[in-house]
């Protein structure tokens, strides 16, 4: 079960955005798996995408369209990633955008397509031809909660967050949803995130806000170290609030940046908490590094170690696995005598070996909790950074072994 995660009870509508969901009809069990967002004309939009060289067809088409026009519609399907599908996949993604254009009257290049699900299977555009006109007619301001469920694949819990932030022109609403559970180590900029606010924000400023928000949230999580072919995060500012547009130097910029960052971080944490088969939510915090880059090298090495992750699942305080991961992170001239490591406040390593005061009972108690902090001090400088991950359980193997069956 997800670690300390509950489904949202409600999500606030964002003035300037309408949402609706429908069933494409291609699943063994009927469920909504198609989502359409409508964005008011005049909004600004920023997006980040996977850096996987085998990026999915919708990612390619979304990038093309974003370079040509300001988006009016976001089309999301779950169950089929439309990745690894070659030229046909590109044609199918473009056809899906054309279907939205036919149903709404908007130019096709103002539609951004997004897909998530099984890689390598052709997309049935005929199902979109049947479903898109219906979903376009059903658009409504309060469709966010339905969308949080419709974009999911192996997620157990829908993921959504709403926040408010006071700006000079009034109180802005921020609502975001995300999906992701496995194949998670976003490198952006099968994770998708959509965040909107009714604040007015200059386009270049929104791109800067989005870059910072993604870097400190979605780019700091991992479930299994696999970067998806389809990762994308879209942030929209509709301007419906009527505030003076937030731009560089605006008094409102710090508050809005922080609020959007908090929404992104909560969604990112929700993805890890709902990691496939996860039973532990783990923070790997590295401090006293010579640079943030080397702190992240150590943090990712620990967070991706199958030996560390399986020990955490077993509530086994096998601190040697953490020590070994730090040692193979590739840091030059690492002084082992200066390294200290803690598990939930219990010092397990100091002076190059097991801390003199450490007891197995204390270590076992620390790793038996659902929420675990692995804190590593390198003794090399003042830099620090952190990432979030989960454990590996038997269920993770079962879910991925049986994913297509």
Q: What is the pLDDT of residue 190?
A: 61
C-alpha to C-alpha distance for 153 and 33, rounded to whole angstroms: 9
Q: Residue ranges of the chain with pLDDT lower than 50?
A: 189
> What's the pTM?
0.94
CB 334 within 8 A of CB 376: no
pLDDT of residue 397: 80
Q: Is 319 helix (H, G, I), strand (E, B) or coil?
A: helix
Return residue ranges of the chain for CATH 3.10.20.340: 281-401
Residue 225: per-residue pLDDT? 77
142 φ, ψ (degrees, to nearest 5): -100, 35
Catalytic residue selected from 35, 116, 190, 301 = 190
Q: What is the CATH number of domain 17-273?
A: 3.60.70.12
Cα Rg, the chain, nearest whole Å: 22
CATH 3.60.70.12 positions along the chain are: 17-273
- Please name the residues in contact with 270: beta carbons below 8 A apart, sequence gap of 6 or more: 5, 157, 159, 161, 178
pLDDT score at 230: 84
Contacts of 105 (CB under 8 A, 6+ apart): none
Distance from C-alpha of 75 to C-alpha of 188, rounded to nearest angstrom: 20
Confirm or reject CATH 3.10.20.340 for domain 281-401, answering yes or no: yes
pLDDT of res. 54: 87
Residue 175 has φ and ψ, to the nearest 5°, of -130, 140
Helix or strand holding residue 104 (H, E)? helix 86-104
Instruction: Return the pLDDT at 356.
Output: 95
Distance, in Å, from the CA atom of 75 to the CA atom of 19, rounded to the nearest integer, reads 10
> Which residue's structure tokens are 């960052």?
261
In sequence order, what are the beta bridge partners of 192?
179, 232
Examine the residue annotation and report whether 190 is marked as an active-site residue of this protein: yes
The confidence score (pLDDT) of residue 27 equals 65
pLDDT of residue 405: 61
């Amino acid at each position: 079960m997800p670690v300390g995660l509950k489904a949202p009870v409600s999500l606030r509508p964002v003035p300037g955005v309408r949402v609706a969901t429908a069933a494409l009809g291609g699943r063994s069990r009927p469920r909504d798996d198609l989502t359409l967002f409508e964005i008011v004309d005049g909004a600004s939009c920023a997006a980040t995408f996977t850096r996987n060289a085998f990026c999915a067809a919708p990612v390619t088409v979304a990038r093309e369209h974003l370079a040509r026009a300001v988006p009016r519609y976001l089309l999301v399907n779950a169950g089929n990633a439309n990745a690894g599908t070659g030229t046909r996949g590109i044609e199918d993604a473009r056809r899906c955008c054309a279907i939205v254009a036919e149903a709404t009257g908007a130019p096709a290049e103002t539609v951004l397509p997004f897909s998530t699900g099984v890689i390598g299977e052709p997309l049935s555009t005929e199902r979109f031809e049947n479903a898109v006109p219906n979903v376009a007619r059903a658009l409504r301001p309060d469709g966010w909660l339905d969308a949080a469920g419709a974009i999911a694949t192996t997620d157990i819990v829908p993921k959504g967050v709403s926040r408010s932030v006071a700006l000079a022109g009034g109180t802005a609403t921020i609502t975001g949803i995300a999906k992701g559970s496995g194949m998670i180590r976003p490198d952006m900029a099968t994770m998708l995130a959509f965040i909107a606010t009714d604040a007015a924000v200059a386009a270049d400023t929104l791109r800067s806000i989005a870059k910072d928000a993604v870097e400190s949230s979605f780019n700091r999580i991992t479930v299994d170290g696999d970067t998806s072919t389809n990762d994308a995060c879209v942030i929209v500012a509709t301007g419906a609030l009527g505030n003076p547009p937030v731009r560089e130097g605006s008094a409102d910029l710090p508050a809005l940046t922080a609020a959007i960052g908090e929404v992104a971080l909560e969604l990112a944490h929700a993805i890890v908490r709902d990691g496939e088969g996860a039973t532990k939510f783990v923070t790997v915090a590295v401090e006293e590094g010579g640079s943030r880059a080397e702190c992240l090298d150590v943090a990712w090495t620990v967070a991706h170690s199958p030996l560390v992750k399986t020990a955490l699942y077993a509530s086994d305080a096998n601190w040697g696995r953490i020590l070994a991961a730090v040692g193979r992170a590739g840091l030059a001239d690492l002084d082992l005598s200066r390294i200290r490591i803690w598990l939930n406040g219990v010092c397990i390593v100091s002076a190059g070996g097991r801390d003199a005061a450490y007891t197995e009972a204390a270590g076992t108690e620390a790793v038996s909790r659902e929420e675990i902090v692995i804190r590593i001090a390198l003794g090399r400088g003042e830099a620090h950074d952190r990432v979030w991950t989960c454990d590996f359980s038997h269920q993770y193997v079962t879910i991925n072994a049986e994913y297509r069956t």
